[in-house]
Amino acid sequence: QSALTQPASVSGFPRQSITISCTGTSSDVGGDNYVSWYQQHPGKAPKLMIYDVNNRPSGVSNRFSGSKSGNTASLTISGLQAEDEADYYCSTYTSSSLVFGGGTKLTVL
């Protein structure tokens, strides 16, 4: 069982916006700003999309944004595109360990 809880699946139509939540505790998500998000397409390595809650690495589309409120972090994807269909994982660092959420499968309808 993952330390971070994500919905198993979310879906949306092209051009819509969706939000994926990642719920932890005050000891991890709520305790600092070490939250990141990864995108993984089938058969591919994960890709860093968001770090430090709301920062994007260079080259990542500004359609991806992150936020946090209390013990829950969120990834929002605006203007959904077909290529956004993938698995998404949140992650944080706590007690000297990196932990991932269970992952959320995004389906673009």
Are the beta carbons of 101 and 2 closer than 8 angstroms? yes
Taking alpha carbons only, the member of 22, 30, 24 closest to residue 6 is 22
Verify binding: residue 89, other proteins, rule CB under 8 A: yes
Verify binding: residue 97, other proteins, rule CB under 8 A: yes
Binders of other proteins among residues 9 to 48 (CB under 8 A) are 34, 36, 38, 40, 45-48
Verify binding: residue 1, other proteins, rule CB under 8 A: no
Taking alpha carbons only, the member of 45, 59, 39 closest to residue 108 is 39
Verify binding: residue 64, other proteins, rule CB under 8 A: no
CA dihedral 33, 53, 4, 49 (to 10 degrees): -140
Smaller CB separation from other proteins, 16 or 27: 27
Residues that bind other proteins (CB under 8 A): 2, 34, 36, 38, 40, 45-48, 51-52, 57, 87, 89, 91, 93, 96-103
